[in-house]
Structure 1
Amino acid sequence: MINEVKSVLAAFFGVQKEVNRKRDFEHGHALDFLVVGLVMAALLVGGMALLSTVVAG
């Protein structure tokens, strides 16, 4: 699961090594990446909403 998190973080920033990308496509499962990506996106949106609430309030 750690490799999926690392790969999704790299995708969020737009940087990833070719070796890791190949590994993900050869050995990874799409559902794992989808779940990790959705959770991380939800955390990002929630964190930004919380930050804006704290700054505005």
Structure 2
Amino acid sequence: MSPTVLGLLTGLVLGLAAAFGGFGAFVVVAVLGGLGLLAGRALEGKLDLSQLMGRDRR
């Protein structure tokens, strides 16, 4: 999936959350989406979390 399509889908989901759930739902969806993005990047190996977890690279 291209970054353009992914951005479009993210914008649509956030727009729906804001329209039907208000600002609170918008914030919750945005935060959970960001956490999902970080988890996906970590699982793909594109994000190095070793410094945050206290493990030294050797």
Question: Computing the radius of gyration over CA atoms, which structure comes out larger, 1 or 2?
Answer: 2
TM-score range (shorter-chain normalised) is 0.3 to 0.5
TM, length-normalised to structure 1: 0.46
Task: Considering Cα pairs closer than 8 Å and 6+ residues apart, tell me whether 1 or 2 has the greater RCO.
Answer: 1
TM, length-normalised to structure 2: 0.46
Higher share of residues assigned helix: 1
